[in-house]
């Protein structure tokens, strides 16, 4: 099983995002459906908890969607 496929199937509530190499950045962007810039901004805003980053990105997307309505 690929790392990316495995990451999509696990509970991220207790996982920390660690970006040791470009492949990690790509994988997390795929899992969280975001760009590298969005991922790094989210980590800067809320820390490296995958759950917190995911929630932050969802809030940002929701806010952005509301502005375009």
Q: Would you list the domain boundaries of the chain?
A: 3-67
Judged by phi (left if over 0) then psi (alpha if -120 to 50, else beta), residue 34 lies in beta
Q: What is the largest CA-CA distance in the chain?
A: 40
- pTM (2 d.p.): 0.80
Q: Is 34 exposed, middle or buried (0-12, 13-18, 19+ CB in 10 A)?
A: buried
User: pLDDT digits over 5-63, tens only?
Assistant: 555 667 788 899 999 999 999 999 998 999 999 999 999 999 999 999 999 999 998 88
């Amino acid at each position: 099983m690929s790392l990316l496929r495995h990451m999509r199937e696990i509970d991220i509530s207790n996982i920390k995002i660690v970006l040791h190499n470009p492949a990690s950045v790509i994988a997390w962007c795929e899992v969280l459906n975001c760009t590298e810039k969005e991922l790094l901004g989210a980590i800067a805003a809320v820390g490296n908890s995958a759950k917190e980053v995911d929630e932050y990105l969802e809030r940002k997307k929701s806010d952005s969607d509301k502005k375009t309505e």
